[in-house]
Amino acid sequence: MEVILLERISKLGQMGETVKVRDGFARNYLLPLGKALRANAANKARFESERATLEARNLERKSEAQKVADVLDGKSFIVVRSAGETGQLYGSVAARDVVEVLAAEGFNIGRNQVHLNTPIKAIGLHKVELQLHAEVEINVELNVARSAEEAERQAKGEELTSVDAIYGVDEDALRPEDFFDPEADGIDEEEA
């Protein structure tokens, strides 16, 4: 199906272009969301008459997205989740969790604007791409940790996936004498 794009769509085309897309993509996404019109003579004339308004609206949306991007770009957000000693999360951090964290900080971002290829399943510092507008993309950093104290330590560059890092115990320095009395022969004197 051929459609006329009413806004820039990444990996598809610019506003005003006539592109050929699959029927389902057009019927289920582009047309219902008002991102495109069917390519016919009447719709081409309609687009040309509304072109100035569409370009003005697109420019306004882009400038609003750019304002938010200027504030958000490069910021770091802390996400506290429970995890095992190896740093593996018991759950995961998905796009909806990113939206909730940003909303708690006062940023209104839609779930479809968060680009996570796979959910985050381990503690650490993770880069998350946000596409605020078709032409405005930024990265924020998520600091996924077990507690706020661990998040501070991770932000300083510390690796928290070993027992030493978590509990402050050096596993290699532990000796059996630290746990057992070498003088004990295994038999209580009272029993003998």
pLDDT one-digit tens code per residue, 100-147: 999 999 889 889 899 988 899 999 899 999 998 888 899 999 999 998
Grade residue 163 by pLDDT with cuts at 50, 70 and 90: low
Over residues 168-188, the mean pLDDT reads 61
pTM (predicted TM-score): 0.69
Output 141-144 pairs: Cβ under 8 A, ≥24 positions apart. 141/74, 141/75, 141/76, 141/77, 142/76, 142/77, 142/79, 142/93, 142/98, 142/101, 143/76, 143/77, 143/78, 143/79, 144/79, 144/81, 144/89, 144/93, 144/120
* Closest C-alpha among 51, 53, 89, 78 to residue 154: 78
